[in-house]
Every structure is written in structure tokens, then in C-alpha cells.
Structure 1
Amino acid sequence: MKKLYLFDFDGTLTTEDTLFLYLKFYNSSKYRIQFLRYIPLFILLKMKLLKAEKVKESFIASILEGESKERIERKSKAFFEEYYPKLFRTNALEFIEKIDKEKTVAFIVTASLDIWVRPFAEHFGMKLLATEAEFKDGKFSGKFKTKNCNGEEKVKRIKQATEGLKYDKSIAFGDTAGDHAMLKWANEGLFQFFH
């Protein structure tokens, strides 16, 4: 029996959100300045008065826009080396280690950017569906190449990535409202399974 595993990343496999952690790791002084500038927007976001995707894109751009793809990839690899395995839930790592790679296809499906999640997905031998960073002439444009991979967008991306794939059962793991559509779509949706 072939299984399709779909793992949310932040909060499901990890103990905390990686967006702020990565940006702080990438450039801590720039991060502190930009974080203070964005506090009013974060408050409006919590009050649901702004769209998360636009604030997220703008905040990431305030730190990474214009950075070379090579530097971002180098920093992302260093981020992986710094935070693996300490960032991860122990039981999630144990579960992943027991996955029979011959009988499963596994994806990390995340709203986080592909640039910093890719080293983790590669380490786990998983495919990655993430919000994708746009690069122009080898530099980060400050924009997203795709829609924010959250909510219904997760399901849309899963359907595209698994078209023609043969599996008997899909099992999804998530921990927030942004994962509900994916959990509902899967044959088995496990909410906060590793918590």
C-alpha cells in the first residue's frame, strides 16, 4: 500500500515558526530595525485588518531584497546546520525516520519560503511545496513567485504536484487554521499530532 504523507512545517514538525528565526539569523541587525518598523503592521495583521501575504512579502523583502541567490543558499545551508535537529519536535523526527521510503511519497507543504525550508526537505528526502521566492538576474526581487502556500493554496499545489501519482492513502499533518483545507482534503487529517 503506497502512502502520501503531507507535512506542514512550522509548528507541526518544528517547535517554532521559522520565518522570524531565519530572517534574524540571516541579518540580525537589519532584522531588529525592520521588526521595530513593522510592529504596527503586525498588530493590524493580528486584528485581521491586513492581508498576511502582503505583510509577509514586504517584511521578507525589507531584509532580503537584492541579496544574491548564491548568498541566500549559503545562509540557508548554514541555517539548517545551526538548527537541525534542535528546532524539531523529537517525536516528529522519530516518525520521519520510520517512514518506509519505498512505500511512501512525502511532501513538506508550507507557507514558509522555499529558500530556507529546502535544505530540511532535502535532508528528509521529501519533496517541497512552499511559497517560492522570485529571483531576477540572480538576485531576490523581494516578491513571491507563487501565491502564499497556505489554506486552499496548499490543496491546489498538492493536487498539481500529485497529478498522475499512484497512492492508496493520503495522510496530512498540520497545526493551524492554515492547514485545515489540507487536513480536510487528505484521507486522514491529523491536527497537532506531534504536539
Structure 2
Amino acid sequence: MKNLYLFDICGTIYRSNTTFDFLEFYLKENKRFKLYRTIYKSFFWKIINRALRSWLHYDLTRTLALRFLKGTSYSELSKQAKLFTEVYLSQVRNIEIYNTIEHLISIDKSKVILVSATIDVVAEAVADSLHCEQYYSTALEYKDGVCTGKMVKDLLGNKCMFLNEQGILHQIKSFFTDDLTDTDVLEYSEIKNIVCYPKTQKRWIKLIAQKKWEVAMLEY
């Protein structure tokens, strides 16, 4: 029976790429990261990374950015992620969706799941802020409680396969996302809720027409 309500985090619950916004929040005084930030925001780097994501489903920018967390303890990252959620993310909520999650959790929290490619400490902090007991995210690697700067599980572009492995792919009543790479998950959702921003609107409209989907379109 389809009875689960799934929510993406980045761009959906918040108007934020929460992984990169967290890195910029936490590493704001790190000179090496500031230099890297200048590089990855350059036009030519974006072109290269976009090609890698399209052809190989590999985000070089993200992989290298996470290396800056190497040597930081899980407890420190967790503390900073909670502060980031309180100070920054609270200001960029998509209020309608945030309120929808709170309402669903108040009715039956067992049916609400956050599923996101954001890193684990951020997903955990977001879940805690919403009193949501279930979440799936990209997992960083830790050795003796210290981050290695690498990932042991990456949900970027892999949500459908992961949800299938968890045995819940066919139980999705409703899925909320803004991410075009979540198309495969939307196929399995009875109710499709798409958070649409101006930069992706044309692509969503084309995709919806091709799929002949009935969707709830939420514009921001």
C-alpha cells in the first residue's frame, strides 16, 4: 500500500543547496576554501562540472569541496550543522512545504521520510528541527569519529536505486522535489509535487508533457 510521504531537502524544504551553503557557513574563515570557492564559481569550471554530471553522473565540485572537512570530528560537524540550520536555513524555508511536513508529522510521523543528497550531518540537523524520525542522505566517511573528507554513500542521482534497496520505492504516496534528477523516483509516486523555480520551469514543463503526468506545481 502506498502510504509514505517523501521530501527532498535542497531546493524543496529550503531555497538552498544545503551542502554548499553549509560548507560556506562553516569554512567562511578558511582561506583555501575561499580560493576553491572562487574557482568552482568560475564559468569554465561550471561548464566542465556540468558535463561531468551529465555524462558520468559525477559531481567533481562537490567531491573536492567535501575534502575540506577532512580532519574534523563528527561531533564538531554535527554541532555546526545544527547552528547552520538554526541561523541560516530557518531564513530560507519554503514555508508551504515546511508547514506541510509539520502537519503530516503531527498526524503520523512514521509516514514522513526526508530523502536527500545533502550530507548526513545537515540532514540529521534538518530532521531534528522538524522532529522527523526518518531520513536518508549522503553519508560521509568517519574513522575514529573523524571525517576523512570522503563519502561512503552518495544519494546524488541514486535515490531511486537506494529507495528500492530499502524496500520502500513502491510505497510512495506523495513525493515533493525540485530536482530534475528525481524523475525516476517521481515515476513511482502516486502524487507528484514539483517545486518549480524560474530556471527549471521550461525543462519541467517539457518533461511533464512527455510523461503525461498530473502534478501539483509549486512555484518559487
Same fold, judged at TM 0.5 (above)? yes
Deviating above 6 A after TM superposition, structure 1's stretches of 4 or more consecutive aligned residues are: none
Alignment of 1:20-169 (within 5 A): 20-30=20-30, 31-38=33-40, 39=42, 40-48=44-52, 51-61=57-67, 63-99=68-104, 100-102=106-108, 105-126=111-132, 127-146=134-153, 148-151=154-157, 153-162=158-167
Q: CA deviation at 1:52?
A: 3.2
In the TM superposition, what is the alpha-carbon distance from 1:57 to its structure 2 partner? 1.6
RMSD: 2.5
Q: CA deviation at 1:101?
A: 3.4
Residue number in structure 1 paired with 2:186: 183
Contact 1:155-1:185 within 8 A present in 2 as well: no
Measure the CA separation in 1 of the matches of 2:39 and 2:194.
34
Question: Aligned pair in 2 of structure 1 residues 124, 194: CA closer, same or farther (>3 Å)?
Answer: farther
Q: CA deviation at 1:46?
A: 2.4
* CA spacing shift, 1:28–1:53, aligned 2, 3 Å: same
Equivalent position amino acid for 2:191 in 1: E
Normalised by the size of structure 1, how large is the TM-score? 0.84
Q: Give the counterpart letter for 1:87 in structure 2.
A: V
Instruction: Check 1:134–1:176 CA distance in 2 against 1; reply closer, same or farther (3 A cut).
Output: same
Structure having greater relative contact order (Cα 8 Å, sep ≥ 6) = 1
Contact 1:150–1:179 (Cα < 8 Å) also in 2: no
CA separation of 1:46 and 1:54: change in aligned 2, threshold 3 A: closer
Say which structure is richer in helix.
2
Contact kept in structure 2, 1:170 and 1:187, CA below 8 Å: yes
1:173 to 173, 176, 197: 176
Q: Is the Cα contact below 8 Å between 1:8 and 1:179 reproduced in 2? A: no
Distance 1:54 1:65, change over 3 A: same
Report deviation, 1:50.
6.5
Q: How far does residue 103 in structure 1 lie from its aligned partner after superposition?
A: 7.1
Contact 1:112 1:130 (8 Å CA) reproduced: yes
Matched-pair contact (CA < 8 Å) for 1:171–1:189: yes
Matched, 1:6 2:12: no
Amino acid paired to 2:71: G
* CA distance 1:182–1:166, shift in 2 (3 Å): closer
Change in CA separation of 1:187 and 1:141 when aligned onto 2, cut-off 3 Å:
same
Shift in CA distance, 65/42, structure 1 to aligned 2, threshold 3 Å: farther
